[in-house]
Amino acid sequence: MRPGEKPEIARLPLFREMQEEQRERIFSGSFLQVFPPQLTLFELGQHPDFLHVLIDGVVELYATSAGRDTTMRIVEPVTSFILAAVVTDMPYLMSARTLTSSRVLLVPAALVREVVKQDCALMQATMRELALAYRDLVRALTDMKLRQSAERLGNLLLTQERRQGGGGKVQLRAEKRLLASLLGMTPENLSRAFGVLGGHGLEIDGAQVTITDRAALETFSRPDPVRDDAG
């Protein structure tokens, strides 16, 4: 682990409040591993052996079924992932692969479960993390069920813009094919959705998106104050 990274991991919401001593136990039982791009970290159905914490790089969580697959989440550093499978000790419901070269902290799942039982602060943080993740999924599911593709894209851009500082500019980080899969559509349709939004306050140039008329974009995308604005 590089200097400065351990404190950064310790500052994660998940590990922040726990006892120093227990945190040391977690860290000393874990190990950092480097993975090349496009490598599968684990697959749907496998038994969860490690809690993963992405330190550096980008990881995609995706699900497959009957030959088709879809992106469920794009993980950026520094974040833990697949907490729910580790806590319940049940098979993964998603697969994971690196998109870029990545460094991942691997915390043995059994160790997580053991320390969680002994350190109430860690348990509370875990509980909170799971509750927030649950809420994210509620949002994603209603988004999928109630909105059509161009609206979903519009709302995602509005949300991203707020997260990136609110200057009316959004920098797309992932490939568009990935973004399409995350939004539950084909790359072709994403292109067309961008085209549609072009008539509703949006300008796009490659991976650089500019919101030229927020009011128009909001009228079209119908963001929900509860679902889309709050964290």
Partner DNA sequence: GTCTGCGATTGATGAACATCAATCGAGACG
Partner DNA sequence: CGTCTCGATTGATGTTCATCAATCGCAGAC
Q: Which residues bind a second copy (CB under 8 A)?
A: 44-45, 63-66, 68-70, 72, 83-85, 87-88, 90-94, 116-117, 120, 123-124, 126-128, 130-135, 137-142, 144-147, 184, 222, 224-227, 230
Say how many Å lie between the first and final Cα of the chain, rounded: 31
Closest separation between CB of residue 70 and DNA, Å? 10
Where is 64: in which H helix or E strand? Answer: strand 59-65
CB of 207 to DNA, least distance (A): 8
d(CA 100, CA 38): 7
Q: How many helices (H) and strands (E) does the chain have?
A: 10, 11
From the list a second copy, DNA, none, pick the one residue 18 interacts with, judged by a Cβ distance below 5 to 8 Å according to partner type: none
Report the distance separating Cα 63 and Cα 72, nearest Å. Answer: 7
Task: Name the residue nearer to a second copy (CB basis): 1 or 133.
Answer: 133
Question: Peptide bond preceding 78: is omega within 30 degrees of 0, i.e. cis?
Answer: yes
- What residue 191 binds from a second copy, DNA, none (CB within 5 to 8 A, per partner kind)? DNA
Residues 145, 150, 155, 161, CA torsion sign: positive
68 vs 206, which CB is nearer to a second copy?
68
DSSP structure class, residue 146: H
Residue ranges in contact with DNA by CB under 7 A: 148-150, 175-177, 184-192, 194-195, 204, 206
Q: How far is the CB of 131 from a second copy (least distance, A)?
A: 4
Per-position DSSP letters for 90-121, written without gaps between them: ---SSEEEESS-EEEEEEEHHHHHHHHHH-HH
| Minimum CB distance to a second copy smaller for 21 or for 205 | 21
The helix or strand, by DSSP H or E, that contains position 74, with its residue range, turns out to be strand 68-75
Nearer to DNA, 94 or 209 (CB): 209
Cβ at position 206, least distance to DNA in Å: 7
Residue 117's binding partner among DNA, a second copy, none (Cβ under 5 to 8 angstroms by kind) is: a second copy
Q: Minimal distance in Å, beta carbon 42 to DNA? A: 22
